[in-house]
Amino acid sequence: MHDATESPRTAMSDLPDCWPPLPFDSWKDTYATLHMWTQIVGKVRLALTPRLNHWWNVPLYLSARGLTTSAIHYAERTFELRFDFLTHELVLQLSDGRVKSLPLFPRSVADFYQAFMSMLHSAGIEVRIWKMPVEIPNPIPFDQDRVHSSYDPESVRRFWQILVSVDRVFQEFRSRFLGKSSPVHFFWGSFDHAVTRFSGRRAPDRSGADSITREAYSHEASSVGFWPGSGIDAPAFYSYLAPEPPGFRDASVRPPAAKYHPQLSEFILMYDDVRLSPSPCATLLDFCQSTYEAGAELAHWDRQALEKAPRASVRIA
């Protein structure tokens, strides 16, 4: 019998196929190409959706088959763009019933950009985006990028499967919080899956910060996320508080493999340390909870008002 309230801390989530290996060196070229493709699609969402606090109108979301923009309203219609990582295509679905698709295969970012914009144009969607990538070194305008052109379907499928497993844990973690929290969402700029909690208090102004950073960190925040390779050239989980309270970097957190990274100013837990643990879901949830608790205590968050007791684990019989 299967309980409808099943927790992610069950045997189902910890099957080996749910946490596949993904060595960075084996897919770094595909990673770089897919990063640019998601930025192109994400910038369409950015251009056509109302601005939300902390740039929450920017990210993509996990779907049952890949990543999606969710519904975007355009003139008298609505459309959605979906990366399907099972059939390996980018799908454009419109509220008038039309469906168009773009196959995903090894091709340059420039070729993908032209084909994608042509697909939108053929559906009567006219949108202009800033063609320069963000949050990467040495950016190349999308329509000129013939450097990145790799696409390995199996690596992309594994990447998506990891996101599915991570998302289940992050959704459980998010459910424990009564205060303001972000959706669990995928930022195409930094190419990470993340969820953020807020204390409810404004944060001190960041001296010298640009307008994007000022808005993103306008309030005290605790964030956890997953990088499939960015930042330290290996899949890893991160956790930080902004602003960081004194003593946070020296806090005792779980599991023991988690370490504070002084250059990134974040706690880091390598993906393989989660994947190879007896229960990856429990290990990741412990990392999320312990790093949050350490920071919230040091920053004097009103935890009694902001939190609720976690659900008990549910067995599958």
Please tell me the predicted confidence (pLDDT) of residue 211: 77
State pLDDT tens for residues 206-215: 878 887 788 8
Stretch among 12-16, 40-44, 119-123, 187-191 having the lowest mean pLDDT: 12-16
67 and 177, same domain (yes or no) = no
- Residue 48, domain member (yes or no): yes
60 and 43, same domain (yes or no) = yes
Confidence class of residue 205 from pLDDT cuts 50, 70 and 90? confident
| CA dist list (Å): 155 to 28, 53, 158 | 10, 34, 5
90 and 138, same domain (yes or no) = yes
Contacts 24+ apart (CB under 8 A), 122-130: 123/79, 123/92, 123/94, 123/98, 125/74, 125/79, 127/44, 127/47, 127/48, 128/47, 129/40, 129/43, 129/44, 129/46, 129/47, 130/43
- Residue 289, domain member (yes or no): yes
In three-state secondary structure terms, 202 is: strand
State pLDDT tens for residues 117-157: 999 999 999 999 999 999 999 999 999 999 999 999 999 99
Which residue range is the domain that position 252 belongs to?
153-306
Confidence class of residue 86 from pLDDT cuts 50, 70 and 90? very high
284 and 260, same domain (yes or no) = yes
Domain finish residue from 76, 111, 144: 144
Q: To which residue do tokens 């056509």 refer?
A: 48
- Residue 13, domain member (yes or no): no
Is the per-residue pLDDT at 33 higher than 70? yes
Confidence class of residue 9 from pLDDT cuts 50, 70 and 90? very low
Q: pLDDT exceeding 70 applies to what percent of the chain?
A: 93
Confidence class of residue 317 from pLDDT cuts 50, 70 and 90? very low
Domain finish residue from 144, 167, 183: 144
182 and 61, same domain (yes or no) = no
Question: Mean per-residue pLDDT for 62-81?
Answer: 97
Confidence class of residue 312 from pLDDT cuts 50, 70 and 90? low
163 and 288, same domain (yes or no) = yes
Is the per-residue pLDDT at 162 higher than 80? yes
Residue 96 tokens read as 């008038």
163 and 302, same domain (yes or no) = yes
State the chain's mean pLDDT as an integer. 92
Amino acid code (one letter) for 209: A
Please tell me the predicted confidence (pLDDT) of residue 313: 52
Alpha helices in the chain (DSSP H): 24-48, 109-122, 153-175, 211-216, 271-275, 280-298, 303-306
CB within 8 Å of 138: residues ≥ 6 apart: none
State pLDDT tens for residues 229-273: 877 889 999 999 999 999 999 999 999 999 999 999 999 999 999
Is the per-residue pLDDT at 16 higher than 80? no
- For 168, counting Cβ atoms within 10 Å of its Cβ (0-12 exposed, 13-18 middle, 19+ buried), the class is buried
CA atoms of 167 and 281, how far apart (whole Å): 10
Please tell me the predicted confidence (pLDDT) of residue 3: 42
- Residue 6, domain member (yes or no): no
Domain finish residue from 144, 168, 191: 144
Confidence class of residue 310 from pLDDT cuts 50, 70 and 90? low
CB within 8 Å of 283: residues ≥ 6 apart: 255, 273, 274, 277
- Residue 3, domain member (yes or no): no
- Residue 15, domain member (yes or no): no
- Residue 314, domain member (yes or no): no
The answer to whether residues 238 and 264 touch, using CB atoms and an 8 Å cutoff, is yes
117 and 87, same domain (yes or no) = yes
Is the per-residue pLDDT at 87 higher than 50? yes
301 and 157, same domain (yes or no) = yes
Is the per-residue pLDDT at 316 higher than 50? no
Confidence class of residue 5 from pLDDT cuts 50, 70 and 90? very low
Alpha helices in 49-73 (DSSP H): none
Is the per-residue pLDDT at 55 higher than 90? no
Please tell me the predicted confidence (pLDDT) of residue 309: 78
Please tell me the predicted confidence (pLDDT) of residue 6: 44
Is the per-residue pLDDT at 311 higher than 80? no
Question: Mean per-residue pLDDT for 110-119?
Answer: 98
CA atoms of 85 and 65, how far apart (whole Å): 6
Please tell me the predicted confidence (pLDDT) of residue 13: 61
What percent helix, strand, coil does the chain show, rounded to 5? 35, 20, 45
254 and 190, same domain (yes or no) = yes
167 and 139, same domain (yes or no) = no
| CA dist list (Å): 67 to 39, 85, 213, 235 | 12, 8, 25, 18
Please tell me the predicted confidence (pLDDT) of residue 221: 96
- Residue 12, domain member (yes or no): no
Count of domains forming the chain: 2
159 and 238, same domain (yes or no) = yes
